[in-house]
Amino acid sequence: MESIHSVNLKDKENKIQRYERKYQPNILIEGEIAGLDANVLVDLVESDEFKRNIREQFDIGVLKIYTTNVALGEARNVLIKRRRYEHEEATNKLQSILKEFNIQKIDHNKEGNELGNMWVDYVKKQIHIKKFPTFPSDCRILANLFSQIKVNIYFTEDKDLERAVNILKVPIKVIIVGEASQINSFEVKRFIKEQSKEKRKAFHKSRKPR
């Protein structure tokens, strides 16, 4: 059964933003608008099996896929500093992923960044953030995707971000995927199976006489 929860946030000018989140069975609806964080972009470059798993997820019902200029920059830095790519090679690999998956890039704007900062200020008072150094940037990435594109599903490896979205009641499904090095334990695999099961149930239910 669907239930609705809401939360009110005040910005620096004391303007109130109200978020309502409808809780439904965790299934994708055809035409979802998806966003990707920096770590997912890195793993798309690094692992062909990761790409196959993510592609299966996209094929279930994702209409469009977006990321941001900041997420791309962070992904490139990870590839250079941690994975030993040259700058040009990292840039070309990421551009190839954007083209392969038809991922659209948006630029951060002032409004989106301010919204992300407001999310951080609210959430850090509610819970302990395990990876706080990267948390503000992660929130700004998601806030820009939400405010500019209205993404309603977000792929990330950051469980803190999932907890934040739940607290904020922002109407976004957060899909936690494992790192490419832990590909055998991908939650995305489990989620794909659940999607298929739910779709089969819905199909058979629609064929029953009323």
Token representation of residue 6: 């809401």
CA 56 and chain centroid, separation: 16
For residue 170, what pLDDT is reported? 94
Please give the single-letter amino acid code of residue 128. H
Type and span of the H or E element at 6: strand 3-10
Q: How far is residue 66's CA from residue 100's CA, in Å, rounded to a whole number?
A: 13
Q: Is 207 helix (H, G, I), strand (E, B) or coil?
A: helix
Q: What is the mean pLDDT of residues 98-127?
A: 97
pLDDT by residue (tens digit) across 176-190? 987 654 444 445 555
For residue 132, what pLDDT is reported? 92
Q: How far is residue 90's CA from residue 175's CA, in Å, rounded to a whole number?
A: 25
Q: How far is residue 24's CA from residue 1's CA, in Å, rounded to a whole number?
A: 7
Q: What is the mean pLDDT of residues 2-15?
A: 54
Token representation of residue 12: 């620096």
Residue 194's pLDDT band, with cuts at 50, 70 and 90, is: low
CB 180 within 8 A of CB 50: yes
pLDDT by residue (tens digit) across 50-63? 999 899 888 878 99
CB 103 within 8 A of CB 83: no
Rounded to two decimals, what is the model's pTM? 0.77
- Is the domain spanning 28-199 CATH 3.30.70.100? The answer is no
For residue 87, what pLDDT is reported? 97
List 32's β-bridge partners, or say none: 62
Indicate the domain borders of the chain: 28-199
Q: Does the structure show a pLDDT above 80 at 114? A: yes
pLDDT by residue (tens digit) across 28-78? 555 799 999 999 999 999 999 999 989 988 887 899 999 999 999 999 999
Mean confidence (pLDDT) of the chain: 82
For residue 186, what pLDDT is reported? 46
150 against 28, higher pLDDT: 150
* CB neighbour list of residue 90: distance below 8 Å, 6 or more residues apart: 45, 76, 79, 80
* CB neighbour list of residue 14: distance below 8 Å, 6 or more residues apart: none
